[in-house]
Amino acid sequence: MVLLGGHTDAQEGPVIQEIRIQGNDWVETSFIESQSGLFKGQNLVEGEAARVIRNLYKSGLFSDIKISIDQVPDGVAVIIDLKAVPRLGEVVLTGNRAIKDKTLKRELALIEGQLIRPREKKRSVNKLVALYRKKGYLLASVDVKEEAVDEDGRLPLTFEMQEGEKVNLKKIRFHGNTALTEKQLRKQMKETKQDGWWFGGGKYSEETYPDDKELVLAFYRQNGYREAAIVSDSLSYGPVKKDMYLDITIEEGPLYRFGAVSWSGNEKITDAGFSHFIVVDSGAVYNEERVLKSREQLQNAYMDIGHIGAQVFPQQKPIEGHVVNVHFDVVEKDPWTIRKILITGNTKTKDRVIRRELRVRPGDTFSRALLERSVREVMQLNFFTNVLPEPIAVEETSEIDLAFTIEEKSTGTASIGAGYSERDKLIGTIGLQIPNFRGNGQQLDFQWEFGSRRETFSIGFTEPWFRNTPTSISASLFRSTIRLATYGVADFDQRTEGGAFRLGRRLRWPDYSRISGGYRLEKVAFINFSDSTDVSNPFYQDNITSSISANLTRDSRDLPIFPTSGGVISYSPALAGGFLGGNRDFHKHDIVTSFYFPIFWRLALNVRSQLGFVASYGPESVPYQELYQPGGVDIFEGTMLRGYPDRSVGPQNRGEPIGGVAQLLFNAEISIPIVPNQFYGLIFADAGNAWGSLDRISLTDMRRSAGFGIRIVAPVVGIMGFDFAWGFDRRRVDGQSVQMMTHFQFGPQFY
């Protein structure tokens, strides 16, 4: 037998009479012959051995290949001696107590029958070691052993774990720090934590520790020590290698201050405007974060005027006396324009409904601020769960395409259900509510509520963009019957029926504002009196109210439901009677303010106030239904004074509330997103009262309460709420002691 050699002339080479395969465990012989490129009757040529070996190695199925020949009659026999990469057999785990077999095998992700090369074994060992270290077993080691090949020719592997003790980072010790305390420095480390007597064991990871070191140095640079460096760090263990200690030695360097602040290259933004975005103050302690913040704000300012490619280079130059001069070098480049706007994901809502809310248009100079405002306006429609804008740059023409990806949510509901409120008790509901009618952004409402104390029927339609302009028109018809009680003995039904029409318009100034005006005609009749009721009382006189009203609202909330910033200011005057007809002459004024402030994490504070006043200017008194009767939660009036019975606060006659002509309410509420956009917790405080005349309003004469609650976004009924409140002035209202009251309601969100 000789090694396969070559010949200078292919025609003089020996003829292959036989191909022999040796050492193969499981690979098909026909595949090997085909992959080698050899065939019987072929003449051997120079370099044939290297070519055959190269072809077989390319398959990835073999770990060792040798080629030789034997002389046979009329030619040669080519012998291919090879060793196939083994296939994986059973995986056995031993020595593991802290981590279950199931978890380890999931981490390995090995499949029986797969090829198992040396690098696969090494990778598997590294995976298990990394998992142990992640779990706190920093001294764990893993060995892998090959067992005898099984009857199927597969190679079983045994992974032997030496877990050792779980290591606890007992203490993080800093050395060389004088300007900043150990507590301050440890607080900067997000993933590396020392053992705490209250919050449990320490935490250390080789993967995240370098990032935490950089956070410590970044904190030094934020506090003026721009040359601070970690000169050494080491890990040490306790006597039984269960406790670990991390020692970090820091060289703080000198304290730096900002010197001169300058800039150049700005033409589109004036020097005065440029300085507005720079938060670096000459003479202040050096803070690297302020330099980066200044650069970010300047980049955003250029994006707002369409200079997407503008670049701002902050240059820091240390000078004598530990002072750093900062210079911002600007390359403005040309502004970019919007080429086209693409909208995807809206399967129901028509493109024009979305496009008319956008503040960006094709052909306009791109503005980041207007893009963000466009997203806000589309989200305010409350038809979508998310709106994702994606700017797509067209470099060759300095243009940009804007792609909006829309995630729609279910908006139209046909419902049959039941509900409950403190005032109206159990009620049934049959309704059809379509806020996005036929995808046109129109709103269609039909509602029938019925129960033992309340029956309401209403139908309405709103067109928010009449004739494709930001003008809204709406019309509604309504009828309701409510069972009421006054003076403790008079029971009767109040029936209200009528209709309304409204016309509104968005305003260019003030921003976020709209104005509307409308006409309302309603008849109120008192019927079904109890035997003890004195029907001769003029209070029970039927009345017809013909009124006009206006509304000016500025709504800058970031979201329509559960906002975290912005606010609402609304003024609503109304005039009834006089030249309008009817038998009730009065004027009414309501002012509502509601502001939202982000606190920390995802918590938001809402501070809300309501001031209302109504007065008659004719011979008749103000109609009963127009008087203010705060207390509890009224989803129809949008008022909250929790901790007190419904409609119980205000002027009284013989111990019973009769309603006031003036009202002042305050609400403070912190919302806690347990499941964002679905489930929220609340902590609140309320205060308010109603008075018989305007001059009696007093901030010292308020009914106060506090409590907590939850809000659930229900697909059919809207927002469902449970509030648990304690009224601190309960004795002044109905003589009862302070006690918890539960308020349950569902319906639209109050602002």
**CA nearest neighbour of 668 among 607, 742, 581:** 607
**Please, what sign has the CA dihedral across residues 653, 654, 657, 662?**
positive
Taking CA atoms, 239 is separated from 133, 136, 243, in Å, by 20, 17, 8
State pLDDT tens for residues 15-47: 877 888 887 777 777 878 777 877 787 877 767
Q: What is the identity of the amino acid at 649?
A: V
Give the Cα separation of 199 and 220 in Å (integer): 27
Interatomic CA distance for residues 692 and 288, integer angstroms: 61
45 vs 11: CA distance, rounded Å = 8
CA 338 to chain centre: 28
What is the pLDDT of the chain when averaged over all its residues? 88
Q: What is the pLDDT of residue 526?
A: 84
Q: What is the pLDDT of residue 421?
A: 52
Q: Residue 716 pLDDT > 60, yes or no?
A: no
**pLDDT confidence of residue 119:** 85
> Residue 487's pLDDT is what?
47
pTM for the whole structure:
0.68
At 57-76, the pLDDT tens digits run 777 778 778 888 888 888 88
Residue 545 Cα distances to 504, 584, 728, angstroms: 22, 6, 38
Neighbours of 185 (CB within 10 A): 19
Mean pLDDT value across residues 248-252: 97
How are strands ordered across the β-sheet holding 154-162? 87-94, 154-162, 141-146
CB 268 within 8 A of CB 305: yes
Structure tokens at 227: 């040359």
For 495-528, how does the pLDDT look when each residue is reduced to its tens digit (9 = 90+)?
A: 999 999 999 999 999 999 999 999 999 998 888 8
Per-residue pLDDT, 678? 86
Closest CA to 520 of 553, 493, 551: 551
- Crossing angle for the helix pair 101-108 and 118-134, to the nearest 10 degrees: 130
Rounded mean pLDDT of 162-169? 88
The DSSP string of 609-629 is EEEEEEEE-SSSPPPGGGSB-
Is the model's pLDDT at 577 over the cut of 90?
A: yes
Lowest mean pLDDT among 544-553, 593-602, 617-626: 617-626
**CA 719 from centre of chain:** 19
Largest CA distance in the chain: 135
Sheet of strand 399-408, all strands in order from the earlier edge strand to the far edge: 337-344, 399-408, 384-394
pLDDT at 13 over 80: no
Contact indicator for 163, 95 with CB cutoff of 8 Å: yes
- Give CA angle at 229 (227, 233), nearest 5°: 175
According to the model, what pLDDT value does residue 340 have?
A: 96
Tell me which DSSP letter residue 297 carries: H
Residue type, 641: L
pLDDT of amino acid 406: 95
Predicted pLDDT at 7:
44
Q: Residues 6 or more apart from 98 whose CB is under 8 A from it?
A: 132, 135, 137, 163, 166
Structural domains in the chain, CATH included, are: 2-84 (3.10.20.310), 87-162 (3.10.20.310), 168-251 (3.10.20.310), 257-331 (3.10.20.310), 337-408 (3.10.20.310)
Residue in the structure block whose two tokens are 């199931």: 102
Q: Sort strands 229-237 and 454-463 into parallel, antiparallel or unpaired.
A: unpaired
How does pLDDT run across 173-228, given as a tens digit for each residue?
Answer: 999 999 999 999 999 999 999 987 665 578 888 889 999 999 999 999 999 999 99
**Residue 573 pLDDT level (bands cut at 50, 70, 90):** very high
- Mean pLDDT calculated for residue range 223-247: 92
Q: Where are the beta strands (DSSP E) in 125-251?
A: 141-146, 154-162, 168-175, 229-237, 243-251
CA 129 to mean position of chain CA atoms: 35
> What are the beta bridge partners of residue 695?
none
Q: Which two tokens stand for residue 607?
A: 């501070």
The angle that helices 209-222 and 288-304 make with each other, rounded to 10 degrees, is 90
* CA neighbours closer than 13 Å in the CB half-sphere of residue 681: 7
pLDDT of residue 751: 43
Distance between start and end Cα atoms, the chain: 95
- Of the candidates 67, 57, 89, the one whose C-alpha atom is nearest the C-alpha of residue 23 is 67
**3-state DSSP assignment of residue 300:** helix
Question: What pLDDT sits at residue 220?
Answer: 97
**185-189: Cβ within 8 A, 24+ apart:** 185/216, 185/219, 185/250, 188/212, 188/215, 188/216, 188/218, 188/219, 189/215, 189/216
Cα torsion 42, 47, 48, 54: sign: negative
**Between residues 67 and 545, which one has the greater pLDDT?**
545
- Residue 512: which region, alpha, beta or left (left: phi > 0; alpha: psi -120 to 50)? left
| pLDDT class of 612 with cuts at 50, 70, 90 | very high
Those residues with Cβ within 8 angstroms of residue 660's Cβ, 6 or more apart along the chain or in another chain? 627, 628, 629, 650, 651, 689, 690, 691, 692
Look up tokens 């420095």; give the residue: 185
71-80, 101-110, 297-306, 651-660: range with lowest mean pLDDT:
71-80
Helices (H), 312-397: 351-355, 368-379
Q: What contacts 132, CB < 8 A, 6 or more positions away?
A: 98, 99, 138, 140, 142, 161, 163
